[in-house]
């Protein structure tokens, strides 16, 4: 007996990456759409704006196949609710409505919960922020004061520090790195305008 396409789609969704929102796993709408199109190439997803003014937008999404409505979804977004809605409330509402319509077809994560695109985007942003912070922490963990800092007496006397970044570079840290640039330059450091720091190859110092 041939397996129904919807069951195949649901099984594939279980293998797709999810986003953690308040301890629950949600799939992104773009992932749901891709899987849906794969198994239902002849189906249509139509959205309709039910309300749109300076305060809020309401969008309805309808999924149909062979003239029959399979599922619908509604989404209401307020324009002053968060950074995303302040610039793209209509787009956000449409995405959420499609996501809810697909969720009505069971094309969601295993827990079967609904999540707005706004929630998913915020979750993605938070995860990316955590990753960036972890990378920054790991980078900082490799930084320490250069063990031969006494070789840069003039810099130390100026109240600055010579830092070993662990990447083959020494940099100057402390207050007044612009006001004390002559001292730093005379010690052999060069200015990196892109990263806004004074640097010197460690091998040069050695």
* Residue 100, pLDDT above cutoff 80: yes
Split into its structural domains, the chain has a count of 2
* Helix 82-103 with 29-39: angle, nearest 10 deg: 30
pLDDT digits (tens, 9 = 90+) for 163-205: 887 778 899 988 878 788 889 999 999 888 767 788 998 888 7
* Residue 104, pLDDT above cutoff 60: yes
* 107 and 158 in a common domain: no
Structural domain that includes position 106: 5-122
Which of 8-12, 44-48, 103-107 ranks highest by mean pLDDT?
A: 44-48
Q: What does the pLDDT read at residue 138? A: 46
* Residue 113, pLDDT above cutoff 60: no
Q: What does the pLDDT read at residue 140? A: 45
Do 40 and 65 touch, CB atoms closer than 8 A? yes
Tell me if 47 is assigned to some domain.
yes
* 109 and 22 in a common domain: yes
* 113 and 26 in a common domain: yes
* 151 and 100 in a common domain: no
Query: What would the mean pLDDT of 23-45 be, rounded to a whole number?
Result: 85
pLDDT digits (tens, 9 = 90+) for 117-136: 444 445 444 444 444 444 44
* 183 and 109 in a common domain: no
* 171 and 116 in a common domain: no
* 102 and 26 in a common domain: yes
Query: Could you tell me what percent of the chain has a pLDDT over 70?
Result: 77
* 85 and 19 in a common domain: yes
Tell me if 134 is assigned to some domain.
no
**Which CATH number characterizes residue 64's domain?**
3.30.390
* Residue 115, pLDDT above cutoff 80: no
* Residue 76, pLDDT above cutoff 90: yes
* 151 and 111 in a common domain: no
pLDDT band at 108 (very low <50, low <70, confident <90, very high): low
* 113 and 149 in a common domain: no
* 82 and 165 in a common domain: no
Query: What would the mean pLDDT of 7-29 be, rounded to a whole number?
Result: 76
Domain boundary among 122, 154, 174: 122
Tell me if 42 is assigned to some domain.
yes
């Amino acid at each position: 007996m041939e397996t129904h396409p919807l069951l195949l789609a649901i099984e594939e969704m279980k293998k797709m990456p999810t986003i953690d929102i308040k301890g629950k796993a949600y799939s992104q709408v773009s992932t749901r759409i891709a899987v849906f199109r794969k198994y239902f190439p002849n189906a249509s997803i139509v959205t309709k704006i039910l309300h749109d003014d300076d305060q809020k937008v309401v969008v309805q999404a309808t999924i149909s196949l062979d003239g029959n409505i399979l599922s619908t979804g509604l989404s209401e977004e307020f324009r002053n609710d968060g950074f995303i809605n302040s610039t793209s409330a209509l787009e956000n509402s449409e995405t959420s409505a499609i996501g809810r319509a697909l969720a009505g077809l069971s094309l969601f994560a295993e827990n079967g919960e609904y999540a707005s695109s706004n929630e998913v985007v915020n979750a993605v942003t938070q995860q990316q922020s955590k990753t960036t912070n972890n990378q920054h922490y790991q980078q900082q963990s490799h930084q320490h004061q250069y063990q031969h800092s006494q070789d840069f007496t003039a810099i130390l006397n100026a109240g600055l520090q010579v830092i070993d970044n662990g990447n083959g570079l020494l940099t100057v840290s402390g207050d007044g790195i612009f006001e004390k640039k002559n001292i730093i330059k005379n010690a052999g450091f060069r200015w990196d305008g892109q990263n806004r720091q004074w640097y010197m190859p460690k091998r040069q110092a050695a």
